Amino acid sequence: MTGPVGSRGASPAWAWERVMRTSGPQPFAWQTRFGQQTGRSLLLALLGLFPAWAPAQEEALPPTAPISASPTTPEQALENYYNAPGRASQQLMSEGVAAPPVTGSSTLPLPESWTNSLFDPQPRLELRAEAVWLQPNFDNSYPLARQTQSINQQFRQVDIGVRGEGEPIATPRGTIEYHWNEQGSVEASGFYMDGPQQTNYNLSNADQAYYFDSNASNPLERGFLVNTPPGFPLTATDATLDWSFRTWGTEINLLHHFVSMKGPISDLAIGLGGRFIKIDENVNLNLANEIDSTSAVMGVESRNSAAGPQFVARGRVNGPFKCVRFTAQGKIGLMANGTQYKNTISTAGPAAFIAPSSFSDSQVIFSPLFEGLFGCEIYIWRNFVVFGGYQLLYMDRIDRAGGHFSQDLNQFTQPSKDFGDLFLYGPRLGAQWSF
Short-list 280, 256, 123, 253, CA closest to 189: 253
CA atoms within 13 A on the CB side of 341: 28
Task: For residues 238 and 361, state if they share a domain.
Answer: yes
DSSP letter string, 379-426: EEETTEEEEEEEEEEEEEEE--GGGG--SBHHHHTS-----EEEEEEE
Is 4 part of a structural domain of the chain?
no
What's the rounded mean pLDDT across residues 100-107? Answer: 39
Residue 27 CB burial class (10 angstroms; 0-12, 13-18, ≥19): exposed
Residue 22: phi, psi to the nearest 5?
-90, 5
Cα-Cα-Cα-Cα torsion 301, 307, 312, 318, nearest 10 degrees, comes to 50
Establish if 116 belongs to a structural domain. no
Distance in angstroms (rounded) separating the CA atoms of residues 191 and 197: 18
Check residues 377 and 43 and name the one with the higher pLDDT: 377
Query: Are both 134 and 262 inside the same structural domain?
Result: yes
**Mean pLDDT, rounded, for 290-313:** 94
pLDDT > 70 in the chain, percent: 72
SS3 41: helix
Asked if 401 and 418 count as a contact pair (C-beta separation under 8 A), the reply is no
Q: Tell me, yes or no, whether 118 lies in a domain.
A: no
Banded model confidence at residue 116, pLDDT cuts 50, 70, 90: confident
Instruction: Grade residue 230 by pLDDT with cuts at 50, 70 and 90.
Output: confident
Count: domains in the chain: 2
CATH number at residue 376: 2.40.128.90
DSSP letters of 78-134?
HHHHHHSTT-HHHHHHHHTPPPPPP--GGG-SS-HHHHTSS---SSEEEEEEEEEEE
Is 80 exceeded by the pLDDT of residue 429? yes
Taking the model in full, what pTM does it have?
A: 0.75
Same domain, 280 and 364: yes
* 269 & 192 share domain: yes
In a domain, 5, yes or no: no
144: in domain: yes
Indicate if 134 and 159 belong to the same structural domain.
yes
DSSP 292: T
Q: In what order do the strands lie in the sheet with 154-161?
A: 154-161, 143-151, 210-211, 235-236
**Does residue 2 belong to any structural domain of this protein?**
no
Both 209 and 269 in one domain: the answer is yes
Q: How far apart are CA 315 and CA 269, in angstroms?
A: 6
Q: What is the mean pLDDT of residues 214-223?
A: 93
Domain-ending residue, one of 110, 137, 155: 110
pLDDT of residue 92: 38
| Residue 236 covered by a domain | yes
Task: Please indicate, yes or no, whether residues 410 and 279 belong to a single structural domain of this protein.
Answer: yes
